[in-house]
Structure 1
Amino acid sequence: MKQNEFTPKFFSLLRSGISKQQISRDILAGIIVGIVALPLAIAFAIASGVSPEKGLITAIIGGLIVSVLGGSRVQIGGPTGAFIVIVYAIVHDHGVDGLTIATFMAGFLILGMGFAKLGNYLRFIPYPLIVGFTSGIALIIFSSQIKDFLGLPIQNLPPDFVDKWLVYGDYMGQINWTAFAIALATVLLSLNFHRISKKIPGSIVVILLSTAVVYFFKLPVETIESKFGEIPNKISMPSVPGIDFATIKLLIQPAIAIALLGSIESLLSAVVADGMIGGRHRSNMELVAQGASNIFSGLFGGIPVTGAIARTATNIKNGGRTPIAGIVHALVLLLIMLLLAPVAKLIPLSCLAGILVVVAWHMGEWHHFFSMMKSNRMDVLVLLTSFFLTVFFDLIIAIEIGMILSSFIFMKRMSEATSIETTGNLLDPKAENEGALFEEELTGIPKNVLIYEINGPLFFGASQKFQEVITDLNKQPEILILRMRYVPFIDATGINRLKEMCTQLLSKGTTIIISGANHEVKHELLKAQLYTIIDKHNILSNINDALERSKHLIAEKEDTRI
């Protein structure tokens, strides 16, 4: 284990030293990211079905812990759009208290994943699966914002995608055109304000403008205050949620969903950040930090925390290169909550809806989605399956089914990559050309000796092919040499099929010789006690020794016959 694997990046950088110039750049980046995070934290909380201060609490507590304990130099933690789907469903089914407990439980799950070093394996989640559920989440976020975007007077909005649009259809005659104009202006300004200034976030400008216009002109649109009342300007004391075994059983699936999605998105964000700064994050330490941030978010009544790709990118683009920027971002949000809560309550909900529509647009990465539609049909199958399951059913189901489907596709491709070739001495004339690739390496193959070369892993996906090829022999040779120089590994199923085949052939008078197995494969064969079926002297390191051994065995048989 590397000594620094579980050392936070912040501590490593403090030991190595941070220049005053970099500290100045980090402080400026942290202030900018804190301002950018303000409307997002509020919007994500409202879209998730909880009060706006919970989003701020999550960004403050989670952002601070992720930066202090994380394995990335530049990761910004907080609430994200990806969690809207899960959080909204949990609040709908179990209430806000259920969400707090699920977040608390998920924190320990992520913590365990980090200490178990599972961060090294989450990177193997297939890209089509990630694009599929991410695009599905983006579509659901867009769908959830139509009510406030159009100012529709809907009291209880159903959580299901199809049901939402059916309800929208019933209310389309009651659009609040003022709210719609604010939301549309928010989208246009947010998408295009970078043409005016790349330093000032467009979302902040549009919030300030829309809030001022609505307040001074008394426009008839819903605001945070009209829906949620006052935004508290303090953080309540932490309290441990009441958890018993019945509660764990009830909320374990939502907690697993939070843990899986939080882990995946955090490490994805860290990987993206590495590419932007040329760094390398510590994946397991990042999971430990994310787990701790979710535990403390739950203690303070917040919502799930994860790495935020957009805010992390904003941090990097503004010069942030150390966790100091993330710490400053959390402190800026704390000051805003303490001092400006009376102003923040005046923000119109249609403006926040417009911001989330922009978030959904960027999150969807539709150019990747449609470009992948032209790729391998198996990848397209995983992409569309995870997308439609996310939209119409449930995110955790989409991830589970997507992973299972991806695993089966991988096994199929690996089994197809495993080939079994034979020499021209094979009695089936169709196989003669297949053996030509390695037959020319050999001279003096004795009569009645058959050589099979296995190329690729001999695992459970390919073992059936192996058994079928061997058992399809028209005539049993005296000696069968299995050349295994290109077998990187063999699993329990492959060993079992090999033992069955050896037992069957030996009963018919065929001697088995294994040639060229690497150290790992040979170790597995010996550990499985294959030598009780095959003589130890028949497990050889190269083909020449195997041929010499076959000549010796044939000579012994001839002497016996004489």
Structure 2
Amino acid sequence: MWNMFLIYDPRHLNLQYMMIGLSSPANPYFISRPIYSKRAFDEEHERQMLESRTFKEKFTTSCRCSSSQVKPVLKGLFPVLDWLLKYPVKLWLASDIISGASTGLVCCLQGLAYALLVSVSPVYGLYAAFFPILTYFFLGTSRHISVGPFPVTCLMVGSVVLTLAPEEQFIHPGNGSTVNGSWVGTEEVDVDAMEAQRIVIASTMTVLVGLFQLAMGMLHVGFLVRYLSDPLVGGFTTAAAFHVFISQLKMVVSVPTHSHHGFFSIAYTLSDVFLNIKQTNIADLVAGLLAIIIVVVVKEVNTKFQHRIPVPVPIEVIVTVIATGISYAVDLKSHYGAHIVDSIPRGFVPARFPNIELIGDIVGSSFSTAVVGYAVSVSVAKVYATKHDYKIDGNQELIAFGISNIFCGCFSGFVATTALSRTAIQEGTGGKTQVAGLISALMMLIVIMGLGPLLQPLQKSVLAGIVIANLKGMFMQLTDVPILWRQNRTDCYIWVFTCIVCIVLGLDVGLLTGIVFELGTVVVRTQFPSCSTLGNIPGTDIYRNMKDYKNINGIAGIKIFKCNSPIYFANIDYFKEQIRDTVGFDAVQVFKKRNKALKKIHKLVKKGSLKVTESGLVSIDPLGVVNEGFESEKDPEQVESGPQEVDDETRRDVDVEVQVDWTAALPVNVTVPKVNIHSLVLDFTAVSFLDVMAAKSLKLVIKEFIRIGVNVYIAGCDDDTVRRMESLCFFDEVVTRDLLFLSVHDAILFIKLETSTGTISDPIADKISQMQDDKAPPPFTEDENQIETYDNQHLAIHELSV
């Protein structure tokens, strides 16, 4: 197709629009090129076919080993080699040391505090903050994140711990006495046994989380985290903040409560707190509230004056030191019954293998925790990678965190990921690389090996207050809701729904429910995609939705339909409905009506009510009057002279060639839906794929239009979709590759060219004419009850649709 077209687009040349660069609408451009169909373009520019390789060839290529490939592989497995060999000691070491020291102090305190969320002794929080840093230093790709416990994952582990090892399971009879002649016994909790069982559960789950992450990294399925959208993660973490707040609230007020988890756990815990509010320990309550207020206020000051303060004030450390000193000096445990940390042994516990018998009970929760932990860490890592212009490898991050959690779990730690607040401190204090992480690990090593016992008088309510104060950033995500409502209401629904179900049903079930709801919104949006009828802006090759612009024109005889979505089994019916609404008729019903009308025309010709001439059908009433819209072979004088009888010879003249122009006027007693277009253009620029069902249905739709004389063209279909069509046997003798065009404008110009030369015609009528040239139709026979007709149109359409 070498017909050239030229576009001149002055775009309202006017000095008042002359602006800088491309912002001016007064920059015209000129194009002179052929009108391309897809076939013509591929032939002229020699389209290259994709090379097809067998699995054996791909496997052989990927398993080749050479000296040039060893270095990239090693750097991929150990990303530290990529930057450590080029580490500028003089420029970065001092900053990393300061940053590591500041972050290490915060990690120590957060490790102690977050251990309460897991329902284990605080010393295990130090292990969870120490061991993952050592392995991530060598295997991680992020240079700025601070690896360690995070409230959300800690709470997810804690819920499993409380489920499998509730306090009631370790109650045994204690000492008793005789009152009024009756024995009254007391119940005691075997704290040592409970603590041992809980740490076994937490460490086993941590190892399993690491195995899941390691497996996903090795299988390169890091893309799974992409199903956790920002609104879903925002709603989930906000709900987790509520769970964390309630779990720590009972420690701040220091009242006895039962262990609740799962459905409505927040409601049950609040009920226990209020029912036992009279048993509040005032010393713990005051200490906890003061810790919350002081930490929140100072953190606000740090944020507001971060450009003036070289290093943020380590308020958690200061509060902890002061609270420990006061508790030790006043002896709050003995005098006021305060609940203190009590036991922080020096050194490490021996490494131990996880309890395999527990795997069946924790496998589901472990997988969800693995996904959540990875999603949180990668989200934070991407923020700082973008800020400092380097890349992270999602699959390598899975491997790094997987090995880190396996290593941590074997030494009685619990699940590690990262936290935005801790990472912000590490980066904000000048941290350049994971050398800062090593320094923070050194700080924790000092605490574990020597300073740990000094923290034994610290009140648990102070640690709980520090945890609550650090939830501020997560609670501030509530301000995202009105923003999402204005920007995208579907994302807002995802956020709110996920948050509510996670609060009500628990984090694990709520997360799964939120993911299902999120995927459901995607299905609904693709099942009912945005479709539009396009029009042309005069003098340009631009086509836009006719509802969106005033100065846009439709094209006579042509409809342009655009679908802004992939087409697959779930939305193909909606796609067909939208096409029917666009063209204004149902092609199947039009075909049936025409088929029925053709039979009726044969019958009217046989009866003599219609006469076939070279100029078309003539409708004659018994008085010889020609119906409006039909030509007559009668002499005008005969019409004026009076009524004329239709002779029997005319009535019996049925062996005639009947070709119907369905766009012209028909006899008054023959009704057929009007088809006011001759061409339909499908704009597939936004269609990324077709599945088997969609391809079959689309092919059938095209044939339905072709058989009623409406030519269908597909424009803007990308090469991948065309290859998909070819593999699905989409093209045949009727639906050929010639209906594909590079752009909508190519298709429109081709249609106009073909229309002007008279090439486009009714294929049914053409086929009928061809059939009648080859074979005359058999005569009609009529009796009292039945009229048999020879259905030329049915045969023609059958041949066209084969």
AA aligned opposite 2:84:
L
What secondary structure sits across from 1:281 in the alignment? coil
How far does residue 30 in structure 1 lie from its aligned partner after superposition?
0.9
How far apart, in 2, do the equivalents of 1:517 and 1:434 lie? 24
SS in 1 for 2:561: strand
Contact between 2:340 and 2:456, CA under 8 Å: does it hold in 1?
yes
Which residue is 1:486 aligned to? 685
In 2, Cα distance between the equivalents of 1:355 and 1:287?
30
Q: Which residue of 2 aligns with 1:177?
A: 282
Higher relative contact order (CA 8 A, sep 6+): 1
Q: Please give the root-mean-square deviation of Cα atoms over the aligned residues, in Å.
A: 3.3
The counterpart of 1:158, out of the listed 236, 260, 283, is 260
Match of 1:238?
351
**Which stretches in structure 2 are left out of the alignment for 5+ residues?**
1-61, 63-68, 166-197, 303-308, 537-544, 592-674, 771-802
Higher share in helix: 1
1:222 alignment partner, one of 338, 343, 351: 338
Q: C-alpha deviations, 1:443-498, integer Å up to 9, x for none? A: xx7xxx65442242232354332111345624456965443342341231532431
The whole-number CA distance in structure 2 between the counterparts of 1:250 and 1:25 is 45
Residue 521 of structure 1 is aligned with which of 708, 716, 721?
A: 721
Pair 1:262 & 2:461 matched:
no
Partner in structure 2 of residue 205 of structure 1: 318
Offset from partner CA, 1:203-229 (integer Å, 9 cap, x none): 111111111111111122434444xxx
Deviation at 1:503, TM superposition (A): 5.2
* CA distance 1:163–1:482, change in 2 (3 Å): same
Alignment of structure 1 residues 77-88 onto 2, 5 Å? 77-88=147-158
Q: How does 1:45-444 map to 2 (within 5 A)?
A: 45-95=115-165, 96=198, 97-120=200-223, 122-123=225-226, 125-152=228-255, 154=256, 156-159=258-261, 160-193=265-298, 195=301, 198-219=311-332, 220-226=336-342, 230-243=343-356, 247-274=358-385, 277-366=388-477, 368-372=479-483, 374-375=485-486, 376-414=488-526, 418-421=530-533
Tell me which residue corresponds to 1:459: 567
Cα distance 1:248–1:464, how it changes in 2: closer, same or farther (>3 A)? farther
Instruction: Mark the CA change 1:144 to 1:436 in structure 2 (over 3 Å): closer, same or farther.
Output: closer
Contact 2:266 2:503 in 1 (8 A): yes
For residues 215 and 753 of structure 2, what CA distance do their matches in structure 1 show? 54
Whole-Å separation in 2 of the counterparts to 1:516 and 1:385: 38
- Note closer, same or farther for the CA distance 1:141–1:126 as it changes in structure 2 (3 Å cut): same
* Code of the aligned partner of 1:459: I
Tell whether the 8 Å contact from 1:67 to 1:75 is kept in structure 2 after alignment. Answer: no
> Which amino acid counterpart does residue 499 of structure 1 have in structure 2?
K
Q: Identity, % of aligned pairs?
A: 20
Deviations 1:351-383 (A, max 9, x none): 101101102223222453454474344333222
Inter-CA distance 558–495: structure 2 relative to 1 (3 Å threshold) = closer
User: Relative to structure 1, is the Cα distance of residues 164 and 155 closer, same or farther in structure 2, using a 3 angstrom cutoff?
Assistant: closer
Are 1:423 and 1:450, in contact at CA under 8 Å, matched by a contact in 2?
no
Distance in 2 between residues matched to 1:401 and 1:331, nearest whole Å: 41
In 1, the alpha carbon distance for the partners of 2:685 and 2:516 equals 28
| Comparing 344-353 and 535-544, the one that deviates more | 535-544
User: Compared with structure 1, are the counterparts of its residues 433 and 76 closer, same or farther at alpha carbon in structure 2 (3 Å cutoff)?
Assistant: closer
1:531 aligned counterpart, secondary structure: coil
Structure 2 vs 1, CA of residues 257 and 124 (structure 1 numbering), >3 Å: closer, same or farther?
closer
Q: Secondary structure at the match of 1:454?
A: strand
| Correspondence for 1:15 | 85
Residues 142 and 453 of structure 1: is their aligned pair in 2 closer, same or farther, counting only changes over 3 Å? Answer: same
Q: Name the CA distance, whole Å, in 1 between partners of 2:733 and 2:420.
A: 57
Contact residue 418 and residue 458 of structure 1 kept, 8 A: no
Judge conservation of contact 1:10–1:322 (CA < 8 Å) in 2. Answer: no
Please state whether the residue corresponding to 1:459 is helix, strand or coil. Answer: coil
Q: Distance in 1 between matches of 2:546 and 2:447?
A: 76
Question: How far is 1:557 from its partner?
Answer: 6.6
Query: In 2 relative to 1, CA 555–136 (structure 1 residues): closer, same or farther, beyond 3 Å?
Result: closer
What is the number of residues matched between the two proteins? 544
| C-alpha displacement of 1:32 | 1.3
Question: Which residue does 1:536 correspond to in 2?
Answer: 736
Task: Give the Cα separation in 1 of the matches to 2:254 and 2:561.
Answer: 70
**8 Å CA contact retained: 1:76, 1:308:** yes
SS in 1 for 2:731: helix
CA distance in 1, matches of 2:419, 2:518: 26
Against the structure 1 CA distance between its residues 344 and 436, is the aligned structure 2 distance closer, same or farther, given a 3 Å change threshold? Answer: closer
TM-score (norm 2): 0.62
> How far apart, in 2, do the equivalents of 1:546 and 1:186 lie?
77
After superposition, the C-alpha distances for 1:493-519 in whole angstroms (9 at most, x for unaligned) are 532431342455567676644344221
Tell me how far 1:264 sits from its aligned partner. Answer: 1.1
Q: CA deviation at 1:290?
A: 1.1
Larger radius of gyration: 2
Checking the alignment, whether the CA contact within 8 Å between 1:423 and 1:436 is kept in structure 2 is no
8 Å Cα contact 1:131-1:368 kept in structure 2: no
Q: Structure 2 vs 1, CA of residues 355 and 452 (structure 1 numbering), >3 Å: closer, same or farther?
A: same
**Displacement of 1:112:** 2.8
Aligned position for 2:169: none
Find the aligned partners of 1:70 and 1:435 in 2 and give their Cα distance: 49
Does the aligned pair in 2 maintain the 1:77–1:306 contact within 8 Å? yes
Distance 2:712 2:388 in 1: 56
Partner Cα distance (1:534, 1:110) in 2:
52
CA distance in structure 2 between the aligned counterparts of 1:115 and 1:546, rounded to whole angstroms: 54
Contact 2:258-2:272 at 8 Å conserved across structures: no
Query: What CA distance in whole angstroms lies between the structure 2 residues aligned with 1:470 and 1:373?
Result: 33
Is 1:135–1:369's contact at 8 Å kept on the other side of the alignment? no
The answer to whether the Cα contact below 8 Å between 2:706 and 2:763 also exists between their aligned partners in 1 is no
SS of alignment partner, residue 683 of structure 2: strand
Q: 2:108 aligns with which of 33, 38, 43?
A: 38
**TM-score scaled by length of structure 1:** 0.87
Q: Which amino acid aligns with 1:495?
A: A
Counterpart residue type for residue 202 of structure 1: I
